[in-house]
Structure 1
Amino acid sequence: MNKYKTFKFKQFEIGQEKCAMKIGTDGMLLGAWADLSGCNTMLDIGTGSGLISLMCAQRYSELKIIGIDIDLGASEQAEENFKNSPWKERLSVKHIDFSELTLDTKVDAVVSNPPFFKDSYKANTDERTKARHSDHLTLESLFHSSAKILNKGGKLILIYPFDQVEDIYNVASENSFYIAKHCEVAHNIKKPVKRVLLEFCYQNLNDENIVSKLYLKENNSNDFSEQYIALTNKFHPFL
């Protein structure tokens, strides 16, 4: 399939030709995993095509969502995808840097699949570099800015490479966030953990069961695991 073509999910479609970063597993995981129970408002940082916002709008029928992106093309793409969705009344987008964002009221949740590459080669376009690299949205900036716009009972939900988890925990602590959920993602049980899904809040839950594991594929085949199917089958047209 042409990577620039419209991608059809079960309840919505996404165009992505204007986006530097295309639809990928990280966004699918975060959009399906984020627990927004009890939330009325959500901010999607680095919304790109709007995938995560659309998934969350499908999952939570009362949720109002604002997507923001520093890249103009991505912002325009998300706006088009939102307008073409069944939930256009609950979705909006802003072309803005997160550090410059101001809102009339605080939000219940911040969700982000942020740019997190630090030491790899820069991309061949400025748009793709912004979408991939943390130069434009550091961990410190992400947590600091989130703290300013979240309600006291709010939550910050992220996906990051697993090798950055220690840094993430340190920055979270510096900004008075506590870990609520920690899900380690690997290709299968035989492969090392590559990603981690994280939920932070302002209250120390002291819960010993916050850590879980998620495997994308079965151990001895390339078939999707029962875990991944259960998580994403409301979206993928082929599951």
Structure 2
Amino acid sequence: MNKYQKFDFKKFSLGQEKCAMKIGTDGILLGAWVDVNSPATVNILDVGCGSGLISLMIAQRNPYANIKGIDIEDGAVEQAKDNVDGSSWAKAIQIEKSSLQEVKSDVEYDIIVSNPPFFKNSLKSDADERNSARHTDTLSLSDLFQNSARLLKSGGKLFMIYPFDQLEDIYKIAALHDFYLVKQRTVSHNVNKSPKRVLLSFSYQQKPEKVIKKPFYIRQPHSNEYSDEYIELTKDFHPFL
């Protein structure tokens, strides 16, 4: 697929030609996995919203969600606004140009979700916007947890996806800011491959009764077909499932 082509999901479509970072598996997994099944109004902050993918996935899943998406990239903000305005959830989602560090809010958020920049010490491209979307210069792990603690209510949740090889650093920084691990899914291509990503849910200030840790496999072990769990998780979004 051409990287600038509109990406069609079952209930919304996303343009992505103005975004530095294109739609990928990380964002789809996180948007489908984040726990937003509350019968009450839920205030949600989507950090680094890009094209608006995760915000729209959450809005589709929870009609009570009140979502703010933020990004520091002009093209992403413009793109997300276009995508949200063209969807059925324009009233539920507000898009703003802002860094997480700059966010001020009159409400305490129930959920913060982020598919954050996480490339460290790697060769940067010539495009400044793509660099800011991919690298931790603009949002380090410490910044993410410190500012999430500032904006979340007690018991609020932080959901994120990150490289698996940085898991120990994540544990340490989370503990410094009073976050407790609730759920962890190590993400691998299949059972025969080592994990590359990890889906994480943390609770702010409230320790859970139990912690869930399970692997997640995108594909079947001996074929390139999607795993049953991937299909179950994303079937409400992918038009081919």
Q: Same fold (TM over 0.5)?
A: yes
- Residue type of the partner of 1:20? A
Contact 2:42 2:64 in 1 (8 A): yes
**1:190 matched residue in structure 2:** 192
Q: Does 1:133 align with 2:135?
A: yes
- Written as runs of structure 1 = structure 2, the 5 A alignment for 1:112-151 is 112-151=114-153
SS at match of 1:88: coil
TM-score (norm 2): 0.97
> Post-superposition shift, 1:229?
0.5
**2:91 matched residue in structure 1:** 89
Counterpart selection for 1:47 from 49, 54, 66: 49
Q: CA RMSD in A?
A: 0.9
Q: What is the aligned residue count?
A: 238
> Post-superposition shift, 1:204?
1.2
> Post-superposition shift, 1:106?
1.4
Contact 2:187 2:196 in 1 (8 A): yes
After superposing the two structures, state which structure 1 stretch, 158-167 or 100-109, moved more: 100-109
SS at match of 1:22: coil
**2:207 matched residue in structure 1:** 204
- Residue type of the partner of 2:85? K
Contact 2:14 2:53 in 1 (8 A): yes
Task: Provide structure 1 residue ranges, at least 5 long, that are not aligned to the other structure.
Answer: none
- Written as runs of structure 1 = structure 2, the 5 A alignment for 1:1-239 is 1-38=1-38, 40-201=42-203, 202-208=205-211, 210-239=212-241
Deviations 1:26-46 (A, max 9, x none): 000000000123361100000
- Residue type of the partner of 1:8? D
TM-score (norm 1): 0.98
- Moved segments of 4+, more than 6 Å: none
- Cα distance in 1 between the residues matched to 2:86 and 2:16: 13
- Cα distance in 2 between the residues matched to 1:198 and 1:182: 5
- Residue type of the partner of 1:114? P
- Cα distance in 2 between the residues matched to 1:149 and 1:134: 20
- Cα distance in 2 between the residues matched to 1:79 and 1:176: 34
- Cα distance in 2 between the residues matched to 1:223 and 1:193: 18
- Residue type of the partner of 1:19? C
Deviations 1:182-212 (A, max 9, x none): 111100000001110000002111415x101
SS at match of 1:135: coil
- Cα distance in 2 between the residues matched to 1:83 and 1:195: 31
Deviations 1:147-184 (A, max 9, x none): 11111121000000000010001000000000000111
- Cα distance in 1 between the residues matched to 2:190 and 2:118: 23
- Cα distance in 2 between the residues matched to 1:71 and 1:106: 25
Task: Provide structure 2 residue ranges, at least 5 long, that are not aligned to the other structure.
Answer: none
> Post-superposition shift, 1:124?
2.0
- Cα distance in 1 between the residues matched to 2:125 and 2:70: 22
Contact 2:37 2:61 in 1 (8 A): no
Contact 2:46 2:55 in 1 (8 A): yes
- Residue type of the partner of 1:98? L
